[in-house]
Chain A
Amino acid sequence: MDATEKHGAQFAAGGAYGPDAVADSMQRGDGGFGRDQQTYYDHPVLQKPHWKWEVVTYFFIGGMAAASSALAALAASGGDPDDALLVRNARYSALAGALASGALLVKDLGRPERFLNMLRIVKLKSPMSVGVYALSVFSMNAGVRALEQLHADGHAPFAVPGWLAKPLRVTTGAPATALMACYTGVLVSATAIPVWFTGRRHIPAIFVCSAVSTGAALQNALLVLTGGSARTAKKLAIVELIASCAEAVLLLHWRLSAGESAKPLFRGARGRRLERFTLVGGLALPALLLLPSVLSRRPRHDRLLGLTAAVAALFGGYVLRESIVHAGRDSADDARAYLRHPE
């Protein structure tokens, strides 16, 4: 939006003053020029983040990739032969997700050709810098794992030498994966945007839970499509169920404990959308659909049910990221919420 458009929109939305300013001035009866202004004409104090769909999608896919890689590692360490298909699917999808994440991140830059400037320094103080290194190391590990899997499947003529792969995995695998799952939450929390920083205790954990619930849903769908065992599907369903419950509890707790500054997320059309597609459609519905298979002693594999639950969970996860990113923009526009210093 250029300046002319911006001012035009402001003018159309009720003149120079925001609705709050109009209400204030009516109360004072001074035509808007009293001595107790709360803001400067309600003009935003903060600048809006320019992040668009690329970043929303990256938050979503990056989380799923991290969870997929964690599920592959956990299933492989368990060693149940039934789970071999999950390990394989999850390793390939983790690499695909890592590659897509990198592409989305680069595309979002104002100057994509300067992406490598991110790697000219390491800055632990900047979650953006930490995140870029987490993604780089994560992608490297995902690549090595996928190559190993290709070799095991007989598709690759050479194996990654163990002396290289193992130390790499042991030292960097888990930390990079954990950071991949949560740093995006830290990234938004550590800003001056009220809805984000007041949610700093909730957002990162919610992002991790959402990464695991959508990652498990994705793996469940892939398992259905590749004809995996019902026992593996049951294990995935248990993980998804627990992550979804935790996510729902955190979201509700945030909503109940949040003050005025979380309004852009939980009220109005965005709040209803979050409720409908994330809380109900993305968390409660898949949980209900998965519950029978979790509770039954002899799980059957219902393909249609599994796929439906997965699609609902994935869409809910996307809506969650989108709502939080977009709420940040509206929050930046709310001068009153920020000037009230809502910490």
Chain B
Amino acid sequence: MSTPEHGFFTDVTLCIGCKACEVACKQWNQLPADGYAFSGNSYDNTNGLSATTWRHVAFVEQMDRVEPSASRWMMMSDVCKHCTNAGCLEACPTGAIVRNEFGDVYVQPDVCNGCGYCVPSCPFGVVAIQPEAGVAQKCTLCYDRQKDGLEPACAKSCPTDSITFGPVEELRALAEARVAKLHAEGREAHLYGVDGPETRDVGALNAFFLIPDRPEVFNLPPKPVLPSKFQRAAYTSGLLGALALTAVGLAVFRPKPWSA
């Protein structure tokens, strides 16, 4: 591959919760609105990623009663992780989900037939079926813009550079430097999706995050599973069952029944 893998580095400590990324993504990708709803969860009325929402800004409020100055309000712009070992890609029976020349996990909308198997196979709950289109949809990492040498719409619109787009290797160096700086200031910071326990099954994430708290707080699984690893046990169970019952059938229908 001549082009290096490209991805996102999303830094929670820089996000101001303006939701420009959500809007830019909807606009560029011509995604329909999701209706007006009041969730009551801080400033978040989007609630989560979906087939028609490919960036979602989470708002986490933490009030410290004992030490009010330690209270925090954190925002995180969530997105498809473009996993190294992508559950959605492994599950897809039509080959609609591919890894493109920029290293992104991409759903080809003209190949997908809407079987829906990628949906429960994504350990991050990202990809979903869009009922009107009948196909699975998720972040494309703005494949179309990348082909024209542009950065994705969300990164372009982010006023604080909380979302940075670029070659993954460079982004990682940037992220390590940022973590070192925050630690030097005495602040909490971890990278999610570079080499922690979360990469055990899914590998490094091309869209990774800097988070100042445990992953659960942002609904990020601390140890996301790669569903295909359950196949061995499952096939063993099923085929042993089939073998055993075939033996029963052979005995019962053998040429000379004992009951004759």
In the complex, whether B216 has a CB less than 8 A from a CB of chain A is yes
In the complex, whether A153 has a CB less than 8 A from a CB of chain B is no
Chain A residues within 8 Å of B236, by CB: 201
Chain B residues within 8 Å of A121, by CB: 93-95
Bound Cα distance from A202 to B236, whole angstroms: 10
Query: Does the CB pair B124–A3 fall under 8 Å?
Result: no
Most chain-B Cβ atoms within 10 A of its Cβ — which of A78, A115, A201, A343? A78
Query: Does the CB pair B133–A79 fall under 8 Å?
Result: no
Query: Does the CB pair B126–A35 fall under 8 Å?
Result: no
In the complex, whether A123 has a CB less than 8 A from a CB of chain B is yes
Interface of A is mostly: helix
Q: Which of A269-285 contact B (CB under 8 A)?
A: none
A66 smallest CB distance to B (angstroms): 9
Chain A residues within 8 Å of B112, by CB: 110-111, 114, 117
Interface residues on A, range: 35 or more
Query: Does the CB pair A43–B91 fall under 8 Å?
Result: no
Chain A residues within 8 Å of B228, by CB: 125, 190
Query: Does the CB pair B234–A189 fall under 8 Å?
Result: yes
Bound Cα distance from A8 to B131, whole angstroms: 20
Query: Does the CB pair B246–A70 fall under 8 Å?
Result: yes
Chain A residues within 8 Å of B114, by CB: 109-111, 114
Contact of A4 among B37, B134, B237, B238 (CB under 8 A): B37
In the complex, whether B166 has a CB less than 8 A from a CB of chain A is no
Query: Does the CB pair A48–B252 fall under 8 Å?
Result: no
Query: Does the CB pair A120–B125 fall under 8 Å?
Result: no
- State whether A40 and B219 are in contact (beta carbons under 8 Å apart), knowing that A117-B113, A128-B115, A231-B259 are contacts in the complex: yes
Q: Which residue of B lies closest to A209 (CB)?
A: B241
A289 smallest CB distance to B (angstroms): 18
In the complex, whether B79 has a CB less than 8 A from a CB of chain A is no
Contact of B249 among A239, A339, A343 (CB under 8 A): A239
In the complex, whether A335 has a CB less than 8 A from a CB of chain B is yes
Query: Does the CB pair B92–A83 fall under 8 Å?
Result: no
In the complex, whether A60 has a CB less than 8 A from a CB of chain B is no
Interface string of B118-137 (1 = CB under 8 A from A): 01111111111101011110
- State whether A204 and B113 are in contact (beta carbons under 8 Å apart), knowing that A7-B38, A117-B96 are contacts in the complex: no
Query: Does the CB pair A50–B116 fall under 8 Å?
Result: yes
A→B interface (CB under 8 Å) = 2-4, 6-8, 10-11, 15-16, 30-31, 33-35, 37-41, 43-51, 70-71, 74-75, 77-80, 83, 108-112, 114-115, 117-118, 120-121, 123, 125-129, 132, 174, 178, 181-183, 185-187, 189-193, 196-197, 200-209, 212, 231, 234-235, 238-239, 242-243, 246, 297, 299, 328, 332, 335, 338-339, 341, 343
Could you give 9 example pairs across A and B, Cβ below 8 Å?
A46-B123, A78-B253, A80-B253, A190-B234, A191-B230, A192-B125, A202-B237, A205-B238, A234-B259
